[in-house]
């Protein structure tokens, strides 16, 4: 972990930044007639006629104003070297639309100013970084005889925007060792680095520097808020948000989005209402986050109110909001409403089509999902990997091996074989359709396999009676260094149950204990079933009794296990206890227990209709 001292700061540093930062000037149109720029000295009576820095014939044409406008001119054309100013270079760099143009202006700057003017160098670095040419930007940065805080901030931001977090971090270490004083924008840039690296501790240290140096303002607080939210530390984000003296829409949206993305949808809706009550108008990102929260909570009424506000024009409508509306209705299982929104959309993107296809697949409308996919292909809409996953699930819902194979073939031609999500979905599809050999073949051809793909294969093997193969796949998974999930253990234990292999089951029990997987209710239920099948009733009860949480499955497996092993009295007592704890004893459980207990005396006093009154 990198420990950083508080960066040197001074009260007037932010003003110094504003005075020496790259200027923001209007971009000139072609053949611009008299256009004066206040950043250029009035003595410079040359004007920029055109700045065509983006084409193949990069040129900068400069002519002089009429003599009446510039009496200082003693000839028709004055020397460019005497009248070109640093602000003009900044103006030209801002106007460049390609890297070629930046290089032309760089040559012009070097010819007339050399490399000693920090202001010009900062603008050149910023221009190179804008076109992601970090090689020339860094070369210029390293050659600067004097670097200001602006220089460091621009190059750091350039690396981050280009996705070079490691280089940005190394540059940050050099910044700490230098004698350059930081400012608020530097802190924003450093927090952006911490966010991309998910380095919580380093971000906390930067937060401490911000606090000690009294650099807190709306921009820095927003960056801190975004950092904590992205790292998943919502308690820190909430505390910072409450301490802020000034808020804007971005701050509110950051918190609403954070709550929505981390499973705290109730708080997201509450904060959204609070945001509106304080007079802040939500933007499209806020609305998308709230619609996601409504979908997760199945808050259909709230979602419909938002829909009405969007239709009335109270909130802005765009393709992302409408796609979120489709997603909200899909999660609330209101497929007809989702399709109504989809049909009236003027623009649809890949997310919109995929959401609708996924909604059909998840709600049992596989044929409709496949037909919609065909329309999507006819319109040449880009198909991503999530679309393929949704389409395979649609084929699974209608148990159509033919269509699934067709999608598989098309996917092989159009996509890379390395996507584990698609591979895992294909394995599940083939297993559910009874094509076990195809599922194994998909696993074997996957260049990279994860826990989900292995678990799908193990589960499919156990379901199709291939218990030994399921355990062999588990060994192969462990050999690849992957840690089994609770679902992996429960699937492998089902294979042990069918094989009545108590030794392997006990090994899985010990392994689950070491990985803290055992408290999972699915693993516990699978262990009970395995021990009961193998006749190890005491071990089964020990697992049942130590479970921190029990569901209907764990109660059912335990009761039926007692009955099938001839422990009728224990089975009846556990049924009473099961009902006393609020679980429903259905007719199947009661009938199975009573039929298994033979002439046990309790059978005389119990019947399916009287059992509920016996407690």
Closest among 334, 333, 368 to 353, alpha carbons compared: 368
Average pLDDT taken over every residue of the chain: 82
Return the pLDDT at 609: 47
DSSP code at position 603: G
pLDDT of the residue at 412: 79
Q: Once rounded to an integer, what is the mean pLDDT over residues 542-553?
A: 92
Are 530 and 598 in the same domain?
Answer: no
Query: In this predicted model, what pLDDT tens digit does every residue of 132-187 receive, in sequence order?
Result: 999 999 999 999 988 988 999 999 999 998 989 888 888 888 888 887 877 888 88
Query: pLDDT digits over 80-109, tens only?
Result: 444 578 888 888 898 898 999 999 999 988
Is 46 a domain residue?
A: no
Say whether both 352 and 444 belong to one domain: yes
pLDDT for res 598: 62
Helix/strand/coil for 182: coil
CA 172 to CA 180: how far, in whole Å?
12
- Secondary structure string (H, E, C) spanning 484-525: CCHHHHHHHHHHHHHHCCHHHHHHHHHHHHHCCCCCCHHHHH
564 assigned to some structural domain: yes
**Tokens at 552, concatenated:** 């209907």
pLDDT of residue 314: 82
Count of Cβ atoms closer than 10 Å to residue 414 Cβ: 9
Is residue 432 included in any domain, yes or no? yes
Residue-wise pLDDT tens digits, 414-435: 765 567 888 999 999 999 999 9
Q: Are residues 405 and 368 in the same domain?
A: yes
Nearest residue to 358 via CA among 329, 325, 391, 382: 391
Q: Are residues 501 and 517 in the same domain?
A: yes
The total domain count for the chain is: 3
Residues 561 and 544 in one domain: no
* Cβ proximity of 563 and 593 under 8 Å: yes
Q: Are the CB atoms for 238 and 225 separated by under 8 Å?
A: no
Shared domain for 496 and 588, answered yes or no, is no
The owner of tokens 């110094």 is 16
412 or 478: which leads in pLDDT: 478
Q: How far apart are CA 419 and CA 410, in angstroms?
A: 15
- Whole-angstrom CA distances from 561 to 288, 487, 548, 588 are 49, 22, 20, 14
**Which candidate, 333, 286, 329, places its Cα nearest to that of 307?**
329
Rounded CA Rg of the chain: 34
Domain residues for 613? 556-615
- 440 and 355, same domain (yes or no): yes
Q: Which tens digit of pLDDT belongs to each residue from 179-202?
A: 787 788 888 888 998 988 888 998
**Distance separating the N- and C-terminal Cα atoms of the chain:** 61
The answer to whether residue 544 sits within a structural domain is yes
- Mean pLDDT for 307-322 is 88
Tell me what the mean pLDDT of segment 244-250 comes to. Answer: 91
In a shared domain, residues 387 and 414: yes
Q: pTM for this one?
A: 0.70
Q: CA–CA distance from 273 to each of 241, 265, 276 (Å)?
A: 16, 13, 5
């Amino acid at each position: 972990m990198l420990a950083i001292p508080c960066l040197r700061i001074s009260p007037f540093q932010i003003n110094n930044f504003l005075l020496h930062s790259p200027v923001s000037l209007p971009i000139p149109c072609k053949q611009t007639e008299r256009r004066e720029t206040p950043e250029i000295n009035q003595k410079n009576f040359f004007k920029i006629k055109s700045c065509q820095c983006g084409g193949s014939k990069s040129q900068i044409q400069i002519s002089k104003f009429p003599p009446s406008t510039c009496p200082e001119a003693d000839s028709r054309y004055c020397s460019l070297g005497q009248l070109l100013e640093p602000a003009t270079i900044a103006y030209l760099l801002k106007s460049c639309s390609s890297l070629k143009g930046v290089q032309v202006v760089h040559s012009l700057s070097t010819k007339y100013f050399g490399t000693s003017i920090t202001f010009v160098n900062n603008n050149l670095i910023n221009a190179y970084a804008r076109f992601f040419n970090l090689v020339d930007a860094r070369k210029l940065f390293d050659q600067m005889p004097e670097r200001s805080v602006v220089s460091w901030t621009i190059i750091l931001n350039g690396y981050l925007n280009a996705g070079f977090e490691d280089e940005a971090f190394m540059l940050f270490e050099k910044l700490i060792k230098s004698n350059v004083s930081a400012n608020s924008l530097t802190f924003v840039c450093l927090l952006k680095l911490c966010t991309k690296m998910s380095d919580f501790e380093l971000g906390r240290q930067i937060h401490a520097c911000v606090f000690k140096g009294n650099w807190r303002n709306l921009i820095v607080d927003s960056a801190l808020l975004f950092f904590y939210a992205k790292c998943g530390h919502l308690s820190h984000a909430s505390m910072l948000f409450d301490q802020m003296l000034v808020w804007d829409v971005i701050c509110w949206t950051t918190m609403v989005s954070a709550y929505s993305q981390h499973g705290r949808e109730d708080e997201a809706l509450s904060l959204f209402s609070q945001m509106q009550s304080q007079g802040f108008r939500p933007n499209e990102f806020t609305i998308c986050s709230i619609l996601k929260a409504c979908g997760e909570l199945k808050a259909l009424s709230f979602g419909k109110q938002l829909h009405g506000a969007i239709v009335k024009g109270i909130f802005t409508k765009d393709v992302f909001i409408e796609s979120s509306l489709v997603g909200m209705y899909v999660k609330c299982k209101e497929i007809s409403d989702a399709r109504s929104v989809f049909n009236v959309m003027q623009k649809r993107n890949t997310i919109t089509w995929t959401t609708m296809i996924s909604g059909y697949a998840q709600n049992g409308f596989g044929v409709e999902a496949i037909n919609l996919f065909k329309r999507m292909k006819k319109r040449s809409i880009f198909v991503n990997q999530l679309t393929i996953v949704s389409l395979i699930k649609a084929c699974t819902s209608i148990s159509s091996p033919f269509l699934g194979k067709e999608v598989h073939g098309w996917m092989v031609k159009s996509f890379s074989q390395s996507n584990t999500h698609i591979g895992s979905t294909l394995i599940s599809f083939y297993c559910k359709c009874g094509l076990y050999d195809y599922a194994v073949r998909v696993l074997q051809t996957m260049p990279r396999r994860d826990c989900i793909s292995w678990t799908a294969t193990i589960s499919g093997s156990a379901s199709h009676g291939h218990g030994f193969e399921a355990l062999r796949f588990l060994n192969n998974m462990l050999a690849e260094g992957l840690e089994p999930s609770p679902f992996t253990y429960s699937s492998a234990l089902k294979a042990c149950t069918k094989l009545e292999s108590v030794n392997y089951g006990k090994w899985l029990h010990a392994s689950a204990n070491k990985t803290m997987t055992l408290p999972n209710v699915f693993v516990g239920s699978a262990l009970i079933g395995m021990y009961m099948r193998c006749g190890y009733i005491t071990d089964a009860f020990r697992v049942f009794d130590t479970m921190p949480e029990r569901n209907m499955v764990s109660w059912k497996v335990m009761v039926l296990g007692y009955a099938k092993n001839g422990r009728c009295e224990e089975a009846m007592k556990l049924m009473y206890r099961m009902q006393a704890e609020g679980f429903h004893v259905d007719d199947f459980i009661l009938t199975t227990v009573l039929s298994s207990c033979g002439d046990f005396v309790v059978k005389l006093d119990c019947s399916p209709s009287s059992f509920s009154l016996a407690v």
